[in-house]
Amino acid sequence: MDNELQALLDQLKEKEAQGSALDINGPYRKELMGEVLAYTNGFLDTLEERKAYESKGYDRTEADHGFNVKEAGTGIGEVLDFIGNRVDHTGLNPASGGHLGYIPGGGIPASALGDYLAAITNRYAGNFYASPGAVRMENAMVHWTGKLVGYGKGFGGNLTSGGSIANLIAITTARTAKRLKGKDLDRNVVYMTSHGHHSLAKGLNIACLGECITREIALDSNYRMDVAALRQQVAMGIQQGLKPFLLIANAGSTDTGAVDPIAAMADVAGAHDMWFHVDAAYGGFFLLTEEGRARLAGIERADSVVLDPHKGLFLPYGIGIVLVKHIDHLLKANSYEANYMQDAKEQELEHSPAELSPELSKHFRGLRMWLPLKLHGIAPFRACLEEKLLLARYFRYQAKALGFEVGPEPDLSVVIFRYVPPQGDADAFNRALAHAIQQDGRVFISTTVLDGVFVLRFAVLSFRTHRKETDVLLEQMREFVRKN
């Protein structure tokens, strides 16, 4: 062997030995797993005592040097201590049943097991050729959700990272399906209400549709789109030579949880050849309940729908779904050509996520959704959602009894409320109440502004929120009013 080859082999041996640290071995793996399991079990076992919000962790401290990484590694004990102190005990705790702000998430543990399996086995879920099983599983989840929405044959969809990206995919699909050209943008109109989630405006901008005209349609007294006003706006636009392009309904708005009149809106969209999109990121999985199905009637008429399993199915953050009634539109919007993908294309027996979204390599998200549904069955998910609908009604009833002004009967599981003191500034009073609740931290609520008025929100969606957490909030409200 010549010297050059020998030197090469020596270097290879050395690098292999150094890099082998990444493939953790038997006893060390056991140690790491044991420590991580002990930490996560401790987290779950003490969740009830933990706050829903901890107002610390915002200021920079010396301890934050721990966020830096170095050439040499750190022991698992130190790493977990750091996560506990600087991450898991700071800010909002979305795993807590006391999280009643924004649109709460969840974090059912079975989903974490799905993520663990997906990460260890590292199936390539972007392409059927690479992993027929993983793609079939993701497609099964899309199929199940599409059937829940009421779609017939020929629909398609994609598991995304969340509702915002799902909305973006729906918007780019609408753009492609309606063949929008740059020169026509300022003639095309998007209709939605001021309560559309901001990811829609973001999506329109990212999709280069920012130059389209956006008409904000008035809300009725229940914060739902006023369809008479919509009809009027569409007719006026047509008279002015504009083209109705996209109509967006909320199936559970972030502000008030209101569900727009979906069926009546579908009629308007159909009459004017508009793309009809329903943002059901928050409200979509209430379709598992009888009440939710009645509320969301007509959703099957939408050209595209977005649902968020990391909201209504209580999964940990990192999964949304976009559904498109005619899969061809989704395929066209995401079509690609690449010589290096030729083997994959020849082997397609099922559609692949890579054909239906902007992603190629991607997290195998299907497993984090499929495993809990398979393990628990659908029934407990339905029961949890039914419980949330009841809790919203219970909270509204009790808040009213305490003398609070409450919003309309909730369409789903968000209740708007505020207290109007006999004298003084009502907005300031409610701001102080929200602050006091957040500082206490046992439960967390967020606020919004409706018609220029500061209001508080009770948003119940976590699988861990029950009557107990609701009563903690009610008790805090009672005490604050008594003392102030």
| Residues engaged in binding ligand PLP (CB under 6 A) | 103, 162-164, 167, 197, 199, 254, 279, 281-282, 308, 320
In terms of CB distance, is 98 or 162 closer to ligand PLP? 162
Which residues fall within 8 angstroms of residue 427, CB to CB, at 6 or more apart? 453, 454
In terms of CB distance, is 188 or 199 closer to ligand PLP? 199
Rg, the chain, Cα only: 25
In terms of CB distance, is 199 or 430 closer to ligand PLP? 199
Cα distance between the two ends of the chain: 88
Phi-psi domain of 457 (left: phi exceeds 0; alpha: psi -120 through 50; beta: other) = beta
* Separation between Cα atoms, residue 324 and residue 335, nearest integer Å: 15
Q: How far is the CB of 265 from ligand PLP (least distance, A)?
A: 16
Helices (H), 184-285: 198-206, 227-239, 262-271
In terms of CB distance, is 173 or 199 closer to ligand PLP? 199
Judge contact between 380 and 314, C-beta under 8 A. no
Question: What is the identity of the amino acid at 125?
Answer: A
As given in the structure block, the two tokens for residue 460 are 């119940």
In terms of CB distance, is 237 or 283 closer to ligand PLP? 283
Q: How far is the CB of 201 from ligand PLP (least distance, A)?
A: 11
Q: How far is the CB of 96 from ligand PLP (least distance, A)?
A: 17
Which residues fall within 8 angstroms of residue 327, CB to CB, at 6 or more apart? 154, 155, 156, 351, 356
Q: How far is the CB of 481 from ligand PLP (least distance, A)?
A: 29
Q: How far is the CB of 276 from ligand PLP (least distance, A)?
A: 16
In terms of CB distance, is 165 or 212 closer to ligand PLP? 165
As given in the structure block, the two tokens for residue 270 are 């159909």
CB atoms within 10 A of CB 106: 24
In terms of CB distance, is 237 or 252 closer to ligand PLP? 252
DSSP state of 410: P
In terms of CB distance, is 282 or 286 closer to ligand PLP? 282
Q: How far is the CB of 138 from ligand PLP (least distance, A)?
A: 18
Q: Which of 202, 244, 196 is nearest to 223 (CA)?
A: 196
In terms of CB distance, is 164 or 193 closer to ligand PLP? 164
Q: How far is the CB of 385 from ligand PLP (least distance, A)?
A: 16
Q: How far is the CB of 205 from ligand PLP (least distance, A)?
A: 15
As given in the structure block, the two tokens for residue 291 are 């009440």
Q: Which of 128, 107, 133, 108 is nearest to 118 (CA)?
A: 133
| Residue nearest ligand PLP by beta-carbon distance | 163
Q: Which of 110, 150, 163, 97 is nearest to 384 (CA)?
A: 97
In terms of CB distance, is 265 or 472 closer to ligand PLP? 265
Q: How far is the CB of 295 from ligand PLP (least distance, A)?
A: 14
* Separation between Cα atoms, residue 312 and residue 179, nearest integer Å: 33
What number of CA atoms fall less than 13 Å from residue 356's CA on the CB side?
A: 27
E strands along 301-378, which residues?
Answer: 304-307, 320-324
In terms of CB distance, is 278 or 288 closer to ligand PLP? 278
CA triplet 289, 253, 192: central angle to 5 degrees? 125
Which residues fall within 8 angstroms of residue 193, CB to CB, at 6 or more apart? 216, 217, 218, 219, 225, 250, 253, 260
Q: How far is the CB of 369 from ligand PLP (least distance, A)?
A: 14
E strands along 62-176, which residues?
Answer: 91-92, 156-160
Q: How far is the CB of 299 from ligand PLP (least distance, A)?
A: 14
Q: How far is the CB of 163 from ligand PLP (least distance, A)?
A: 3
- Sign of the alpha-carbon torsion through 21, 26, 28, 32: positive
Q: Which of 309, 326, 303, 356 is nearest to 161 (CA)?
A: 309
In terms of CB distance, is 80 or 141 closer to ligand PLP? 141
Report how far Cα 278 is from the mean position of its chain's Cα atoms. Answer: 14
